Amino acid sequence: MEESAKRKARRSGSRLKERAVFEFENALDEYMSHLRIERGASPRTAEAYRHDLEGYLAFLDSRDVDSPDRVTREVIVAYEGSLAEEGLAATTVRRRISAVRGYHKFLVREGLAAGNPAEAVDAPRAAERLPDVLSIEEVGRMLDAYIDERPSGLRDRAILEVLYGCGLRASEICGLNLDNLYLDDGFLRVFGKGSKERIVPIAGAAERALRTYLAEGRPTLARGASLGNGADAQAAVFLNQRGGRLGRQSVFNLVRKAGRAINRYDLHPHTLRHSFATHMLKGGADLRVLQEILGHADMSTLQVYTHLDRTHLHEEYAHAHPRDKM
């Protein structure tokens, strides 16, 4: 009789745990919908959050923490410690703790938890790392070396010129549509993170390369379109060899290939964006204008570029000031 009662208790406990885990997973699905619909997160960003939070929920399950109100500050500190033990970078740990904090905030808002235990947890400070930046001379050599008159070559040259000439992200390049181009007026309509719209000036080499591609390269690539590509491909500025919208990985591969001309084998599209910002600042651009062009919501995000420019100022001072040589 006693053994039977124990078995019933175990089964009951197992069912309760399964229900709690199910509720946790349901809440995660609801949080993903919240990120996409209410916060305007891109599918890629939402998927990154899901990946981080699934790891967090697996950690809670390993600790038999089966409901939001059983999560304490100590539990989250232990989770943070487990991430550090995995050898993850401080920036990665900070991102994951930030995801946990946002998730618990959502649970409180939805009435699924009484409080947010992650608010009291300090994520590790990330060491300040200045972004990788090309010199103006390196950018010139890289672009001068990229000569390919085929339709795909004209496309690639236009992408490189626009990445550097306008400071766009790879995803923004891929997302450009023909009706986002106002070349006669000298600007692009760009949709950045969270589908936020901004106006970006375009001129000079970037505008010329884009016009050449549109006139001589894109029509040939568009003829390769299959019936399955549909309206999205017809709207896209940059097309692949099959006439479909070009993907981000193709842009990454292109930039990496272009970097070989200047012995930069790890070149990333964001390096061209950082280079654009740094060179604009060195040329005297106003920080507020740069903020608008780059699509940064917070001015503090640009602080890293002012650090880079201070290095340039110090170099100029050392080169020009007569007392510095004494």
Instruction: Band the pLDDT of 1: cuts 50, 70, 90.
Output: very low
Q: Tell me whether residue 282 is one of the annotated catalytic residues.
A: no
pLDDT at 24: 65
Q: Please check the confidence at residue 17 and state whether its pLDDT lies above 90.
A: no
Query: Could you tell me the pLDDT band of residue 308, with boundaries at 50, 70 and 90?
Result: low
For the chain, the 3-state helix, strand and coil shares in percent, each to the nearest 5, are 70, 5, 25
State the chain's mean pLDDT as an integer: 82
pLDDT at 229: 63
Q: pLDDT for 18-74, tens place per residue? A: 444 446 667 888 888 888 888 888 888 889 899 999 999 999 889 888 788 888 889
Q: Write down the catalytic residue from 17, 36, 73, 270.
A: 270
193 labelled catalytic: yes
pLDDT of 307 reads 58
Is residue 10's pLDDT more than 70? no
**What is the average pLDDT across 245-258?**
94
With bands split at pLDDT 50, 70 and 90, how would you rate the model's confidence at 8?
A: very low
Neighbours of 37 (CB within 10 A): 10
Residue 134, pLDDT score: 92
Residue of 94, 104, 155, 169 marked catalytic: 169
Banded model confidence at residue 194, pLDDT cuts 50, 70, 90? confident
The residue written with tokens 């399950």 in the block is 61
Task: Identify the weakest region by mean pLDDT among 163-172, 233-242, 315-324.
Answer: 315-324
Q: Is 296 a catalytic residue?
A: yes
Q: Which of 49, 79, 103, 305 is catalytic?
A: 305
Is 6 a residue whose pLDDT tops 70? Answer: no
pLDDT at 226 over 50: yes
Q: Is the dihedral of CA 193, 195, 201, 206 positive or negative?
A: positive
Residue with tokens 């949080």: 31
Domain 2-120: which topology? DNA polymerase; domain 1 (1.10.150)
CATH code of the domain made up of 136-271: 1.10.443.10
pTM above 0.85, yes or no: no
Contact present, 140 and 104 (Cβ < 8 Å) = no
pLDDT of residue 137: 93
307 is a catalytic site residue: no
Separation between Cα atoms, residue 35 and residue 50, nearest integer Å = 10
Q: H/E element holding 201?
A: strand 197-201
Give the residue extent of every domain in the chain: 2-120, 136-271
Comparing CA positions, the residue from 265, 283, 251, 294 lying closest to residue 161 is 251
Cβ distance 243 to 221 under 8 Å?
yes
Query: Would you call 169 a catalytic residue per the annotation?
Result: yes
Q: State the pLDDT at residue 130.
A: 58
What would the mean pLDDT of 148-173 be, rounded to a whole number?
95
Q: What percent of the chain has pLDDT over 70?
A: 79
DSSP characters over 157-200: HHHHHHHHHH---HHHHHH-BGGGEETTTTEEEEE-GGG-EEEE
Selection from 174, 136, 145, 133 nearest residue 258 by Cα: 145
The whole-number pLDDT of residue 25 equals 64
Q: Which of 68-72, 86-90, 200-204 has the highest mean pLDDT?
A: 200-204
- Confidence tier at 259 by pLDDT (50, 70, 90): very high
193, 208, 248, 264: the catalytic one is: 193
- Catalytic residue, chosen from 155, 245, 273, 274, is 273
Q: Are 209 and 148 in contact (CB under 8 A)?
A: no
Residue 126: the pLDDT is: 55
pLDDT of residue 66: 78
Q: How confident is the model at residue 323 (pLDDT cuts 50, 70, 90)?
A: very low
pLDDT at 264 over 80: yes
How much is the pLDDT for 27? 84
Which candidate, 22, 23, 24, 43, places its Cα nearest to that of 33? 43
pLDDT at 43: 85
Lowest mean pLDDT across 7-11, 86-90, 228-232, 258-262: 7-11
